[in-house]
Structure 1
Amino acid sequence: MTRIIGESDAGGQDGVTLALLCEEVRGWFDGVPVEQRFVHTELPGLTFIRFCHPTEMGRGLLSPSLCLVLQGSKKILLGKAFTAYGGGSYLLSTLDMPISGQVAEATPATPYLGLRIELDVREIAALIIDMGIEVVPRGAETTGVFVDKSDAELRDAFLRLVRLLKKPEDSAVLLPLVKREIFYRLLKAKSGSVLYQAVVSHANDRGVHQAILWIKDHFKEPMRVDTLAKLANMSASVLHRRFKEMTVMSPLQYQKHLRLLEARKLLLDGSLDAASAAFSVGYQSPSQFSREYRRYFGISPLRDREGLKSREADYE
Structure 2
Amino acid sequence: MELQTAVPWLRFIRVSEPTLFNRGMLEPSMCMLLQGRKKMLIGDNVTEYGPGNYSMAAVDMPVSGQVTQATVSEPYYGVRIDLNSREIADLIVSLQIKLPEKQGESVKPGAWISSADDALQDAFLRLVKVLDTPDDLLVMSKLIKQEILYRLVTSPSGATFWKQTLSWNQGKGVGEALAWIKRHFAEPLKIDELAKRVGMSTSSLHHRFKALTVMSPLQYQKQIRLLEARRLLLSGGQDVANIAWQVGYESPSQFNREYRRSFGAAPLQDVETLRQMGVTL
**Bucket of the pairwise TM-score, normalised by the shorter protein:** over 0.9
TM-score by length of 1: 0.84
Aligned counterparts of 1:204 and 1:166: Cα–Cα separation in 2: 37
Number of residue pairs matched by the alignment: 278
Contact 1:206 1:232 in 2 (8 A): yes
Contact 1:67 1:115 in 2 (8 A): yes
2:42 maps to a residue whose letter is L
2:150 maps to a residue whose letter is Y
TM-score by length of 2: 0.94
SS in 1 for 2:238: coil
The residue number in structure 2 matching 1:243 is: 209
Please point out which of 80, 96, 102 is paired with 2:66: 102
CA RMSD, Structure 1 to Structure 2 (Å): 1.7
Task: Tell me whether 1:135 sits opposite 2:100 in the alignment.
Answer: yes
The residue number in structure 1 matching 2:2 is: 38
SS in 1 for 2:31: strand
Taking CA–CA contacts closer than 8 Å with sequence separation of 6 or more, which of the two structures ends up with the larger relative contact order? 1
Residues 200 and 142 of structure 1: CA distance in aligned 2, closer, same or farther (over 3 Å)? farther
Please point out which of 42, 50, 56 is paired with 1:86: 50
Aligned counterparts of 1:212 and 1:202: Cα–Cα separation in 2: 9
Aligned counterparts of 1:173 and 1:262: Cα–Cα separation in 2: 36
Per-residue CA deviations over 1:154-184 (Å, capped at 9, x if unaligned) read: 0111111111111121223322221111011
Please point out which of 62, 66, 69 is paired with 2:33: 69
The residue number in structure 2 matching 1:112 is: 76
Aligned counterparts of 2:38 and 2:279: Cα–Cα separation in 1: 12
Aligned counterparts of 1:277 and 1:204: Cα–Cα separation in 2: 34
Aligned counterparts of 1:122 and 1:212: Cα–Cα separation in 2: 17
2:91 maps to a residue whose letter is L
Residues 127 and 271 of structure 1: CA distance in aligned 2, closer, same or farther (over 3 Å)? same
The residue number in structure 2 matching 1:308 is: 274
Structure 2 alignment gaps of length 5 or more: none
Contact 1:207 1:231 in 2 (8 A): no
The residue number in structure 2 matching 1:144 is: 110
Aligned counterparts of 2:44 and 2:239: Cα–Cα separation in 1: 32
SS in 1 for 2:159: helix
Aligned counterparts of 1:243 and 1:313: Cα–Cα separation in 2: 31
Aligned counterparts of 2:227 and 2:32: Cα–Cα separation in 1: 24
The residue number in structure 1 matching 2:19 is: 55
Please point out which of 184, 195, 199 is paired with 1:218: 184
Deviation of 1:39 (Å): 1.7
2:37 maps to a residue whose letter is S
Task: Tell me whether 1:258 sits opposite 2:258 in the alignment.
Answer: no
The residue number in structure 1 matching 2:252 is: 286
The residue number in structure 2 matching 1:232 is: 198
Structure 1 alignment gaps of length 5 or more: 1-36
Aligned counterparts of 1:213 and 1:150: Cα–Cα separation in 2: 30
- In the TM superposition, 1:139-178 aligns within 5 A as 140=106, 142-178=108-144
Contact 2:85 2:169 in 1 (8 A): no
SS in 2 for 1:287: helix
Aligned counterparts of 1:313 and 1:57: Cα–Cα separation in 2: 14
Contact 1:42 1:165 in 2 (8 A): yes
Aligned counterparts of 2:132 and 2:169: Cα–Cα separation in 1: 37
Per-residue CA deviations over 1:20-78 (Å, capped at 9, x if unaligned) read: xxxxxxxxxxxxxxxxx222111121001110000000111111111100000111111
Aligned counterparts of 1:233 and 1:245: Cα–Cα separation in 2: 18
SS in 2 for 1:284: coil
Deviation of 1:301 (Å): 1.6
